[in-house]
Amino acid sequence: MTDGTDESEMPAEPTQALRFGQARLARSTALVEDYVELIADLLASGGEARSTDVAKRLGVTHPTAIKSIARLKREGLATSKPYRGIFLTEAGHELAHKVRARHRLLVELLLAIGVPLEAAEADAEGMEHHASEATLAAAAGFLAARKHRPDE
């Protein structure tokens, strides 16, 4: 490490447990967020979201998509109608908007530090689920300050 601390020094148990717990929670919510974001995109682009389209675009089997969509329904994020596809509830739309905003912010940050566009898009897809509110606020502040510099 460059800050002078001993690399073998471990954080206190509660601190480390909290960090690992936050990572596990982020992995769990990432699935829900990916589904909600994709369903919102499908609805916006084609007017409907079908489970077969969701499965294909996420690269999962149809039964896996059905199971995850059932979870969205249980959590109050989606509804469905026979022969009409999947729809997002107000809470589902709000979550999709929040995830999309985090994604755009992280892509913008990665581009600002020189990451190529394709890599920035791919990396932001994973980061958007794991970045804390403090990190997102710092990224937004960094980008805002950067935009206001006259030398750029």
Q: What is the pLDDT of residues 77-98, one digit of tens each?
A: 999 988 889 999 999 999 999 9
Domains held by the chain: number: 2
- Among the ranges given (12-26, 43-57, 86-100, 108-122), the one the predictor scored with the smallest mean pLDDT: 12-26
Q: Which pair of structure tokens corresponds to residue 36?
A: 């909600």
* CA pair distance 106, 127, nearest whole angstrom: 8
- CATH code of 114's domain: 1.10.60.10
pLDDT of res. 16 = 74
| pLDDT for residue 4 | 52
Residues 21 and 79 in one domain: yes
Whether 39 has a pLDDT exceeding 60, the answer reads yes
What is the average pLDDT value for the chain, to the nearest integer?
A: 88
Q: Which residues of 53-89 are buried (b: 16+ CB within 10 A; e: fewer)?
A: bbbeeeebeeeebeebbeebeeeebbebeeeebbebb
Asked if residue 52 is part of any domain, the answer here is yes
